[in-house]
Amino acid sequence: MSSSRNIKQALISAEKKLLLRFIGLLLFCLLLVELAVGMLFFYDLYRAETKILTSMASEYQRILKYDSAQRLTHVLEANPERLIDNKISVFVTQANKPNQLKLIVGDEMLSPDIGSRTQQKESGNWIERFILNPYLVVQVKGDTQNFWLVLDNQKRYVIAFENWITTIYAMLVMLVITSIFTQRIIRNAMTPLVTLGNLLEKLRHDKLDSIEPIKAPQGLSLVSASVQEAVTSLHHTTTVLNTTVDAIAHDIRTPLSRIMLSSQTALMSEEDTDGSKVKEALADCAEQAMQASNMLTALMKLNDERVGKRKIKKVSTNINEVVEKVSSWFEDVAEQKNITLMTTSVEEVVIESDPDKLTQVLVNLVDNAIKYTPEGGQVTVDIEKSCDKGVAIHVIDTGIGIESRYQSLVFERLYRVDTSRSNTEGYGLGLSIAAAMVDNLGGTIKLSSQFGQGSQFSIVL
């Protein structure tokens, strides 16, 4: 089973667990809500039933007061539907015999302890009166007879239960719909993790050249985009490392081959009686060994600059003096190629910097500018004071320029636009060292070039 499939299965399992936890939490919350809603339904029913009982009791009390008990009994027996529909039974007792109840209207199957319940005082909260007790009892007092309105609570519960069940069904429908949408949300939210898994899989198989950029990162996609950028940077570093190793092998192989050829030729020569060919071969070997040593020294210097081994000694540095000094070193070389070398500056600029490192950077840039500018061209070193008390140094030439596709690569170690590595002197390390030095000085170096028209290297300190 591939790693990609394992990642997908792990994400599916995580998605299910998240969904189940969400459903469980939502269900628990809905149960609490349903309990509260159910209590509200029963409380509302209690208030309605109490209101009906109180209204009937007031009506019957007026009949007893302004008429007679016989008249009330006649009214109850003549119109029992209202009482029966509301599950209310009416009992009558003699004032002097309160425990002897006689049913006038209602359910004959009421509990035999109804008599004792009519003697209880109406007290307690609504839960005790309506939920814990099976009956609601209201007394209508007369002169010779007392009437009792008895509501069978349990037979009225069905009203609250029907409303409650309706809300339960609504809650279940809401739970299903919410679960469906939540599953989609979780799946969409975890999609970047799938992308991340694919990136890691490509990293494992070294297939990062096929990475597609994320168009609009949002939410977890920001994490995926960050990881993608890191992996892309790692891929770039790996590619540069591979290219560097290949370039080092190529540049080392050339002097080693020359050394091997010269030594073999000298050893195989039988006519060298005076040892001149051996001396010539040794001189050639020494020259090639020096070339390889210089390249390795330059590589070590670049590495030291990048890791910060070479300490910076910042002092007050007159930029104009540094530029004039470097330009004076290349006046003869520029004159030999019929190239105009000039410097421009508006005013004297002094900053805190390391003049030695800055000199090395300018030497490299001016040397490259003269090297790649044809006869009759011009190289200009321009000093520009920036508004933030810094300085910008521009090395501008009218040389061959650099194509846009190569401009982002010129600061890589051992990189040359001429990939044959045989038509240009040097090792392709100068700009890499210059960029590392400028970075250590706390500045930036940028390239602006048009192929066939020239280049401009800008140092901002």
Q: Is residue 202 part of a domain?
A: no
Q: Which residues contact 91 (CB under 8 A, 6 or more apart)?
A: 101, 102, 103, 104, 106, 114, 118, 147, 148, 150
Give residue 103's pLDDT: 84
- Which is higher by pLDDT, 2 or 327? 327
Give residue 261's pLDDT: 77
Q: Is residue 176 part of a domain?
A: no
Q: Is residue 219 part of a domain?
A: no
Q: Is residue 111 domain-shared with residue 141, that is, in the same domain?
A: yes
Q: Is residue 136 part of a domain?
A: yes
User: Helix/strand/coil (H, E, C) string of 300-315?
Assistant: HHHHHHHHCCCCCCCE
Q: Is residue 346 domain-shared with residue 280, that is, in the same domain?
A: no
Specify whether the CB–CB gap between 427 and 413 falls below 8 A: no
Q: Is residue 361 domain-shared with residue 386, that is, in the same domain?
A: yes
Parallel/antiparallel/unpaired status of strands 378-385 and 340-345:
parallel
- Which is higher by pLDDT, 132 or 202? 132
Range of the domain at 391: 315-460
Buried (b) or exposed (e) across 82-95, using 16+ Cβ within 10 A? ebeebbbbbbbbee
What is the mean pLDDT of the segment spanning 167-182?
89
Parallel/antiparallel/unpaired status of strands 145-152 and 135-141:
antiparallel
**E strand segments, 224-364:** 315-318, 340-345, 350-353
| Position 198 pLDDT exceeds 50 | yes
pLDDT in tens, 423-436: 445 556 678 878 88
Tell me how far apart the alpha carbons of residues 302 and 304 are, in angstroms, rounded to a whole number.
Answer: 5
C-beta neighbour count of 427 within 10 angstroms:
22
| Position 447 pLDDT exceeds 70 | yes
| Position 203 pLDDT exceeds 70 | no
| Position 57 pLDDT exceeds 70 | yes
Q: Is residue 24 part of a domain?
A: yes
Residue 379's pLDDT band (cuts 50, 70, 90) = very high
**Which stretch, 109-123, 208-222, 363-377, 426-440, has highest mean pLDDT?**
363-377
Query: How many domains does one find in the chain?
Result: 3
Longest dimension (CA), the chain: 161
Give residue 431's pLDDT: 80
Specify whether the CB–CB gap between 92 and 114 falls below 8 A: no
Give residue 1's pLDDT: 46
Q: Is residue 416 domain-shared with residue 301, that is, in the same domain?
A: no
- Work out the end-to-end distance of the chain between its first and last CA atoms, rounded to an integer number of angstroms: 55
Q: Identify the bridge partners of residue 457 per DSSP, sorted by sequence position.
A: 395, 447
Picking from 249, 281, 307, the residue at the C-terminal end of a domain is: 307
Picking from 159, 187, 211, the residue at the C-terminal end of a domain is: 159
Please, what sign has the CA dihedral across residues 124, 126, 128, 133? positive
C-beta neighbour count of 81 within 10 angstroms:
8
Give residue 79's pLDDT: 84
Domain of 294, CATH number, reads 1.10.287
Give residue 260's pLDDT: 80
Q: Could you tell me which of 307, 305, 299 has the C-alpha nearest to residue 251? A: 299
**E strand segments, 271-339:** 315-318
Q: Is residue 380 domain-shared with residue 454, that is, in the same domain?
A: yes
What is the mean pLDDT of the segment spanning 65-69?
86
Q: Is residue 300 domain-shared with residue 336, that is, in the same domain?
A: no
Helices (H) and strands (E) in the chain, counts: 12, 11
Tell me how far apart the alpha carbons of residues 110 and 165 are, in angstroms, rounded to a whole number.
Answer: 27
Q: Is residue 169 part of a domain?
A: no
Q: Is residue 99 domain-shared with residue 42, that is, in the same domain?
A: yes
Q: Identify the bridge partners of residue 383 per DSSP, sorted by sequence position.
A: 345, 393
Give residue 424's pLDDT: 47
Residue 271 CA, chain-centre distance (Å), reads: 77
Give residue 216's pLDDT: 46
Read off the amino acid at residue 449. Answer: S
Q: Is residue 79 domain-shared with residue 154, that is, in the same domain?
A: yes
Please, what sign has the CA dihedral across residues 438, 416, 343, 456? negative
Continuous segment of H or E residues that includes residue 91: strand 88-94
Tell me how far apart the alpha carbons of residues 240 and 248 are, in angstroms, rounded to a whole number.
Answer: 12
What is the mean pLDDT of the segment spanning 69-83?
86
Picking from 288, 307, 326, the residue at the C-terminal end of a domain is: 307
Specify whether the CB–CB gap between 368 and 339 falls below 8 A: no
Q: Is residue 446 domain-shared with residue 402, that is, in the same domain?
A: yes
Tell me how far apart the alpha carbons of residues 306 and 433 are, in angstroms, rounded to a whole number.
Answer: 8
**Residue for token digits 């029907």?**
162
The rounded mean pLDDT for the chain is 78
| Position 13 pLDDT exceeds 80 | yes
Give residue 390's pLDDT: 80
Q: Is residue 217 part of a domain?
A: no
Residue 399's pLDDT band (cuts 50, 70, 90) = confident
| Position 408 pLDDT exceeds 80 | no
pLDDT in tens, 213-260: 555 445 556 666 676 677 777 766 676 666 666 666 666 777 777 778
Residue 395's pLDDT band (cuts 50, 70, 90) = very high
Domain of 437, CATH number, reads 3.30.565.10
- Considering just the CA atoms, what is the radius of gyration of the chain in Å? 50
Q: Could you tell me which of 141, 139, 159, 172 has the C-alpha nearest to residue 45? A: 159
Q: Is residue 302 part of a domain?
A: yes
Q: Which residues contact 11 (CB under 8 A, 6 or more apart)?
A: 190, 193, 194, 197
Give percent of the chain with pLDDT exceeding 70.
74
Tell me how far apart the alpha carbons of residues 392 and 382 are, in angstroms, rounded to a whole number.
Answer: 8
- Which is higher by pLDDT, 400 or 300? 400
Q: Is residue 296 domain-shared with residue 324, that is, in the same domain?
A: no
Specify whether the CB–CB gap between 369 and 399 falls below 8 A: yes
Specify whether the CB–CB gap between 320 and 284 falls below 8 A: no
Q: Is residue 29 domain-shared with residue 148, that is, in the same domain?
A: yes
What is the mean pLDDT of the segment spanning 322-335?
88
Q: Is residue 272 domain-shared with residue 410, that is, in the same domain?
A: no
Give percent of the chain with pLDDT exceeding 90.
4
| Position 421 pLDDT exceeds 80 | no
Residue 255 DSSP code: H
Q: Identify the bridge partners of residue 145 per DSSP, sorted by sequence position.
A: 94
| Position 422 pLDDT exceeds 60 | no
C-beta neighbour count of 408 within 10 angstroms:
9
Give residue 32's pLDDT: 92
